[in-house]
Amino acid sequence: MLNYEVRSGRSTIEGTGVFAAVRIPRRAKIGEVTGEIISIRTARKRAKGKCRMCLIDLDHAHALDCTGGNALRHLNHSCGPNVFMRIFRQRVEIYAKQDINAGEELTLDYGETPHDDGMLCRCGHRECRSRI
Ligand SMILES: [Zn+2]
Protein backbone atom coordinates (compact mmCIF):
# COMPACT_ATOMS: atom_id res chain seq x y z
CA MET A 1 0.00 0.00 0.00
CA LEU A 2 1.71 3.16 -1.24
CA ASN A 3 0.50 6.75 -1.49
CA TYR A 4 3.67 7.95 -3.20
CA GLU A 5 5.69 6.18 -5.83
CA VAL A 6 8.94 4.74 -4.50
CA ARG A 7 11.47 2.41 -6.06
CA SER A 8 14.13 0.18 -4.66
CA GLY A 9 17.67 0.49 -5.89
CA ARG A 10 21.30 0.27 -4.97
CA SER A 11 22.01 2.33 -1.88
CA THR A 12 25.20 4.17 -0.95
CA ILE A 13 24.42 3.27 2.69
CA GLU A 14 23.95 -0.46 2.43
CA GLY A 15 22.74 -2.97 -0.15
CA THR A 16 19.32 -2.13 -1.50
CA GLY A 17 17.51 1.00 -0.42
CA VAL A 18 14.23 2.76 -1.16
CA PHE A 19 14.15 5.96 -3.15
CA ALA A 20 11.42 8.53 -3.65
CA ALA A 21 10.26 8.50 -7.27
CA VAL A 22 8.34 11.75 -6.76
CA ARG A 23 8.57 14.69 -4.38
CA ILE A 24 7.06 13.80 -1.00
CA PRO A 25 5.95 16.63 1.29
CA ARG A 26 6.76 16.72 5.00
CA ARG A 27 4.29 14.79 7.20
CA ALA A 28 2.76 12.94 4.24
CA LYS A 29 1.97 9.28 4.75
CA ILE A 30 4.16 7.55 2.21
CA GLY A 31 2.56 4.17 2.64
CA GLU A 32 2.48 1.01 4.70
CA VAL A 33 5.00 -1.78 4.85
CA THR A 34 3.11 -4.84 3.68
CA GLY A 35 3.71 -8.43 4.65
CA GLU A 36 2.42 -11.34 6.60
CA ILE A 37 1.18 -10.92 10.18
CA ILE A 38 2.58 -13.72 12.32
CA SER A 39 2.90 -14.42 16.02
CA ILE A 40 5.91 -13.10 17.94
CA ARG A 41 6.76 -16.73 18.63
CA THR A 42 6.98 -17.51 14.91
CA ALA A 43 8.83 -14.23 14.33
CA ARG A 44 11.54 -15.20 16.82
CA LYS A 45 12.00 -18.48 14.99
CA ARG A 46 12.20 -16.80 11.61
CA ALA A 47 14.45 -13.95 12.78
CA LYS A 48 17.66 -15.90 12.55
CA GLY A 49 19.74 -14.74 9.61
CA LYS A 50 17.19 -12.21 8.42
CA CYS A 51 17.60 -8.52 7.75
CA ARG A 52 16.62 -6.04 10.43
CA MET A 53 13.63 -4.63 8.61
CA CYS A 54 12.20 -8.06 7.72
CA LEU A 55 10.45 -8.59 11.02
CA ILE A 56 8.74 -5.71 12.75
CA ASP A 57 7.07 -6.08 16.13
CA LEU A 58 3.47 -4.88 15.90
CA ASP A 59 2.34 -5.45 19.48
CA HIS A 60 2.97 -7.85 22.35
CA ALA A 61 1.75 -10.83 20.36
CA HIS A 62 2.25 -10.11 16.67
CA ALA A 63 4.98 -9.23 14.21
CA LEU A 64 5.02 -8.38 10.51
CA ASP A 65 7.18 -10.51 8.26
CA CYS A 66 7.72 -8.23 5.27
CA THR A 67 10.07 -10.54 3.37
CA GLY A 68 7.55 -10.72 0.52
CA GLY A 69 6.24 -7.21 1.10
CA ASN A 70 6.51 -3.98 -0.87
CA ALA A 71 9.56 -1.78 -1.54
CA LEU A 72 9.35 -0.09 1.88
CA ARG A 73 10.89 -3.20 3.41
CA HIS A 74 14.22 -2.00 1.96
CA LEU A 75 14.33 1.13 4.16
CA ASN A 76 17.86 1.67 5.37
CA HIS A 77 18.80 3.06 8.74
CA SER A 78 20.14 6.59 9.17
CA CYS A 79 20.85 8.49 12.36
CA GLY A 80 19.44 11.52 10.53
CA PRO A 81 16.42 9.88 8.90
CA ASN A 82 13.89 11.52 6.59
CA VAL A 83 11.00 9.17 7.39
CA PHE A 84 9.51 7.78 10.58
CA MET A 85 7.49 4.73 11.37
CA ARG A 86 4.20 4.55 13.22
CA ILE A 87 2.62 1.28 14.19
CA PHE A 88 -1.14 1.56 14.41
CA ARG A 89 -3.62 -1.32 14.60
CA GLN A 90 -1.05 -3.80 13.30
CA ARG A 91 -0.23 -1.56 10.35
CA VAL A 92 3.28 -0.28 9.82
CA GLU A 93 2.88 3.23 8.46
CA ILE A 94 5.73 5.25 7.03
CA TYR A 95 5.59 9.06 7.10
CA ALA A 96 7.86 11.76 5.69
CA LYS A 97 9.70 13.59 8.43
CA GLN A 98 10.67 16.40 6.06
CA ASP A 99 10.23 17.35 2.40
CA ILE A 100 11.83 14.64 0.30
CA ASN A 101 12.94 15.23 -3.27
CA ALA A 102 12.49 12.74 -6.08
CA GLY A 103 15.54 10.49 -6.23
CA GLU A 104 16.41 10.89 -2.53
CA GLU A 105 16.88 7.74 -0.49
CA LEU A 106 14.31 7.18 2.24
CA THR A 107 15.89 6.42 5.59
CA LEU A 108 14.50 5.41 8.94
CA ASP A 109 16.03 5.52 12.41
CA TYR A 110 15.94 1.87 13.43
CA GLY A 111 16.54 3.06 16.98
CA GLU A 112 12.88 4.04 16.99
CA THR A 113 11.83 0.50 16.09
CA PRO A 114 11.82 -2.45 18.48
CA HIS A 115 14.72 -4.06 16.64
CA ASP A 116 18.04 -3.20 18.14
CA ASP A 117 20.80 -5.64 17.47
CA GLY A 118 23.77 -3.39 18.13
CA MET A 119 25.05 -3.18 14.55
CA LEU A 120 27.66 -0.68 13.44
CA CYS A 121 26.15 2.19 11.50
CA ARG A 122 27.53 3.39 8.19
CA CYS A 123 24.92 5.99 7.35
CA GLY A 124 27.50 8.74 7.03
CA HIS A 125 25.22 11.34 8.59
CA ARG A 126 27.01 14.13 10.44
CA GLU A 127 25.15 13.24 13.64
CA CYS A 128 25.76 9.51 13.25
CA ARG A 129 25.76 7.65 16.56
CA SER A 130 27.95 4.97 14.88
CA ARG A 131 25.81 2.21 16.40
CA ILE A 132 22.29 1.23 15.54
ZN1 LIG B 1 24.47 6.49 11.59
pLDDT tens for residues 69-125? 999 999 999 999 999 999 999 999 999 999 999 999 999 998 755 444 556 787 888
Mean pLDDT of the chain, nearest integer: 89
Residue 51 has pLDDT above 60, yes or no: yes
Ligand 1 center to 132 CA (angstroms): 7
As a whole number of angstroms, the distance between CA 40 and CA 36 comes to: 12
Ligand 1 center to 81 CA (angstroms): 9
pTM given for the model: 0.88
Hey, is 129 helix, strand or coil?
coil
Q: Where are the domains of the chain?
A: 6-112
Ligand 1 center to 128 CA (angstroms): 4
CATH class of 6-112: mainly beta
